[in-house]
Amino acid sequence: GKSQAALGVVLRTIGLGICEQKRTRVLLLRFLKGPGRAYDEDAAIEALQQGFPHLID
């Protein structure tokens, strides 16, 4: 829930153009529980990286 909410805030910030107006960037840090675990956000982040490579590092 908390990670998904943070991802939503990041997407909203990008969507509103806040990053472009002030020439700032958005950083999303994820604290993972361990290797080999799948997270729901992984698919969303991967799709964003493919669709908007200039926005997601």
Mean pLDDT of the chain: 78
DSSP label of 42: H
The answer to whether position 17 is within a domain reads: yes
DSSP label of 33: S
Task: Taking residues 37-41, report their average pLDDT.
Answer: 80
pLDDT of residue 14: 78
Q: How many domains does the chain have?
A: 1
Per-residue pLDDT for 19 more than 70? no
The answer to whether position 56 is within a domain reads: no
- Which of 31, 21, 28 shows the shortest CA–CA distance to 48? 28
The whole domain housing 20 covers 2-51
The percent of residues above 70 in pLDDT, for the chain, comes to 88
b/e string for 20-45 if b means 16 or more Cβ within 10 A? eeeeeeeeeeeeeeeeeeeeeeeeee
Single pTM value for the model: 0.60
The answer to whether position 57 is within a domain reads: no
Per-residue pLDDT band at 20 (split at 50, 70, 90): low
The answer to whether position 47 is within a domain reads: yes
